[in-house]
């Protein structure tokens, strides 16, 4: 089982030179180990029936043949591992089977082989099934794409697309790769990627991600990424790599299993040696063989890895990328969540709702001056000002003062744009307070040391935010809001969301410094956009990027990336991780308990080989079945689980950028 048992599973290379083991049987009857086990079981049963009829020699031969057939599934792997200096559970089972045959316990040896092969086959099938569920995402890419080249529409395979090509996306068709709409308007169904069932309206300039379904009119899309580098291929690569990372629970199982195998062999040798000095040598050698089987840590070796693979695969089908076993286990221990305001609790589409001016300055002039400073900014509030102002000429010598604002010059006149406090509002103070009380963010425009305008921008609360906060509290998780916005605006919005703990007017480094105090010794998660909140995401026990679909930095720097814009993904993934962690602990506890109980009973002769084999392998099957439960994750109302049949799509996986967290 796993590498600790019989060596790594066969793997094939992908186009990046990496290997993947998701190819395998689609049905239980196709599992090689189960086929061997079935044949061996039939032979063993036939031998028993013939033995009851009085033909002992034929019965013994059939039992021996059954033992050999069953051993084919694990003995060759154990021998290969032994040749490379690796002693695993398969080695213990091989020694026990050979020893049982040598002692004349041939039916018991056959039973050991049958049950061990069944457990191994079930694990192989379970791992294959969960990995296939993830890679089935790639079947969302259509086999062909319609492309306009030199005025002619042609049909190409996705891997033949070039950056700059114009894809024609008709109603009901899927996008073959990422792009930007050049002409036409439509609605895009992203449910298979983000887990959100509500279509998104899109028009010229809007992004289209690989796998998105065109639910409206025909659109022309300019290709911005090769099919091998699309957001969908990136997601699959990142999650596959994450599945290989080990969490604390998995490392615990490894730390126990690694020294346990040689320790078991030493224990068995001591039982045989010391027992032989005190009594019947054959009796104690037989008990030593039973100890080998009883102390086999095979269930322990697969207890956590299988749970991790199943849980991460289930999360990815619900629009959440969990970056490995360490992140999954830590996510299951979270008791405090800190939420950024802009883009997390709000829609991230702010609009200018009021412009108040002084000193004869018109609203248009005030917006133009503000937009000149914001011309090259990517901040959501900047985009609201730029949208309201229209085309403007960028200011000169623009300098950003983090957490405060901007300053520069237009036609030689100095300008400043920033928050009240950094700029004194003067006689606009009452207007600023009123607008902030309505939940708006206010920035002041100062021209040549004189405040000339106050611009109010408001980003509406996500409609699902109150429900998401309520669900978090239902999980026993405390919720706090962190923002760089002013206190009155922050408190107004927090009250609408049902959040009582609010920290406002924070610089990026202030958010990071505040997290330990908020945690109070508990595990804390920070939820932000993955870029502006990078210090806090790195400081928190778990960094969670919200709405990260297509955002390289957000996906690769956070521990968890929520691909959709629905905040309810957050309590969903936290509840799922908590359940997966419980399953891990259950499996580890059961595995250690079985070893602790069976070893002394085997060493003292209370249990024979047949009984120990049955109990041990039955417990192993229980561990596998329990681990598979981690693949179950119910979608919340309005959220959709992805589902797609498996196809073999070759991708070139891009190298990961170095993230903030290790």
The catalytic residue positions are: 340
Closest CA to 310 of 12, 577, 590: 577
Q: State the residue for tokens 């395979």.
A: 157
Q: State the residue for tokens 């043949």.
A: 65
Pairing label, strands 152-156, 145-149: antiparallel
Query: Which phi and psi (to 5°) does residue 523 adopt?
Result: -80, 135
In this structure, the dihedral spanned by the alpha carbons of residues 6, 7, 11 and 15, taken in order and rounded to 10 degrees, is: 160
For 404, residues 6+ apart whose C-beta sits below 8 A from its C-beta are: 418, 419, 422
SS3 122: helix
d(CA 358, CA 384): 21
Are the CB atoms for 430 and 408 separated by under 8 Å?
A: no
Closest CA to 558 of 571, 539, 576: 539
> What is the chain's percent helix, strand, coil content, to nearest 5?
50, 20, 30
d(CA 100, CA 67): 10
d(CA 509, CA 513): 6
Closest CA to 452 of 356, 332, 566: 356
Q: State the residue for tokens 């359940």.
A: 579
CA atoms within 13 A on the CB side of 111: 20
For 571, residues 6+ apart whose C-beta sits below 8 A from its C-beta are: 468, 471, 472, 474, 475
Cα separations (Å) of 219 from 102, 149, 164, 660? 74, 16, 15, 38
d(CA 242, CA 389): 44
Q: 474-478: long-range contacts (C-beta < 8 A, 24 or more apart)?
A: 474/571, 475/571, 475/574, 475/575, 475/578, 476/335, 477/334, 477/335, 477/336, 477/337, 477/574, 478/335, 478/336, 478/337
For 273, residues 6+ apart whose C-beta sits below 8 A from its C-beta are: none
d(CA 214, CA 216): 6
Are the CB atoms for 160 and 141 separated by under 8 Å?
A: no
DSSP notation for 490-512: HHHHHHHHT--EEE-S--HHHHH
Q: Looking at residue 344, what DSSP letter applies?
A: I
CA-based diameter of the chain, in Å?
114
d(CA 89, CA 297): 7
Cα separations (Å) of 560 from 477, 566, 583? 17, 15, 20
Closest CA to 23 of 651, 654, 646: 646
Closest CA to 185 of 196, 165, 164, 199: 199
């Amino acid at each position: 089982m796993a590498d600790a048992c019989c060596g790594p599973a066969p793997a094939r290379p992908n186009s990046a030179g990496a290997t993947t083991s998701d190819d395998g049987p689609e049905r239980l009857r196709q599992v090689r180990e189960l086929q061997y086990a079935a044949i061996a079981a039939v032979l063993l049963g036939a031998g028993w029936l013939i033995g009851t009829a009085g033909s002992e020699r034929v019965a013994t031969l059939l039992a021996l043949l059954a033992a050999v057939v069953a051993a084919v599934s694990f003995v060759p792997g154990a021998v290969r591992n032994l040749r490379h200096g690796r002693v695993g559970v398969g080695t213990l089972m091989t020694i026990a089977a050979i020893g049982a045959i040598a002692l004349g316990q041939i039916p018991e040896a056959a039973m050991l082989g049958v049950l061990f092969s069944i457990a191994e086959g079930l694990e192989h099938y379970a791992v294959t099934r969960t990995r296939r569920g993830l890679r089935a995402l790639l079947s969302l890419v259509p086999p062909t794409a319609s492309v306009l080249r030199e005025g002619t529409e042609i049909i190409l395979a996705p891997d033949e697309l070039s950056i700059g090509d114009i894809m024609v996306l008709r109603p009901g068709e899927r996008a073959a790769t990422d792009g930007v709409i050049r002409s036409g308007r439509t609605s895009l169904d992203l449910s298979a990627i983000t887990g959100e069932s509500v279509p998104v309206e899109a028009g010229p300039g809007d992004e289209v991600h690989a796998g998105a379904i065109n639910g409206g009119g025909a659109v022309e899309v300019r290709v911005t990424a090769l099919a091998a580098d699309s957001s969908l291929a990136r997601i699959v690569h990142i999650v596959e790599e994450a599945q290989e990372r080990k969490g604390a629970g998995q490392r615990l199982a490894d730390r126990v299993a690694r020294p346990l195998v040689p320790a078991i062999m030493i224990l068995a040798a001591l039982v045989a040696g010391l027992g032989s000095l005190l009594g019947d040598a054959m009796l104690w050698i037989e008990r030593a063989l039973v100890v080998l089987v009883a102390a086999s840590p095979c269930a322990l070796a697969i207890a956590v890895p299988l749970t991790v693979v199943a849980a991460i695969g289930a999360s990815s089908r619900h629009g959440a990328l969990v970056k490995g076993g360490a992140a999954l286990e830590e996510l299951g221990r979270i008791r405090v969540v800190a939420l950024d305001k802009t883009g997390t609790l709000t829609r991230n589409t702010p609009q200018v709702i009021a412009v108040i001016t002084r000193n004869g300055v018109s609203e248009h002039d005030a917006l133009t001056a503000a937009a000149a400073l914001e011309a090259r900014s990517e901040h959501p509030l900047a985009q609201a000002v730029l949208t309201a102002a229209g085309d403007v000429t960028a200011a000169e010598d623009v300098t950003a003062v983090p957490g405060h604002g901007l300053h520069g010059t237009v036609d030689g006149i100095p300008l400043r744009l920033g928050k009240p406090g950094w700029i004194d509002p003067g006689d606009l103070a009452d207007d600023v307070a009123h607008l902030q009380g309505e939940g708006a963010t206010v920035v002041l425009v100062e021209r040549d040391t004189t405040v000339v305008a106050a611009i109010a921008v408001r980003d509406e609360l996500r409609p699902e935010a109150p429900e998401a906060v309520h669900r978090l509290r239902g999980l026993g998780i405390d919720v706090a809001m962190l923002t760089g916005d002013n206190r009155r605006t922050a408190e107004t919005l927090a009250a609408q969301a049902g959040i009582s703990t609010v920290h406002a007017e924070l610089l990026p480094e202030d958010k990071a410094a505040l997290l330990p105090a908020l945690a109070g010794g508990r595990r804390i998660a920070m939820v932000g956009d993955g870029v502006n909140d990078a210090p806090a995401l790195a400081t928190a026990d778990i960094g969670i990027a919200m709405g990260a679909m297509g955002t390289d930095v957000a996906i690769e720097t956070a521990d968890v990336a929520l691909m959709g814009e629905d905040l309810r993904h957050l309590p969903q993934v936290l509840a799922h991780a908590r359940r997966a962690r419980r399953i891990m602990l259950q499996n580890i506890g059961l595995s250690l308990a079985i070893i602790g109980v069976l070893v002394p009973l085997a060493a003292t002769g209370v249990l024979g080989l047949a009984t120990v084999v049955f109990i041990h392998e039955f417990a192993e099957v229980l561990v596998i079945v329990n681990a598979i439960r981690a693949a179950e994750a119910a979608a919340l109302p309005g959220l959709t689980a992805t589902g797609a049949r498996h196809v073999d799509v070759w991708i070139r996986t891009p190298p990961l950028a170095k993230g903030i967290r290790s």
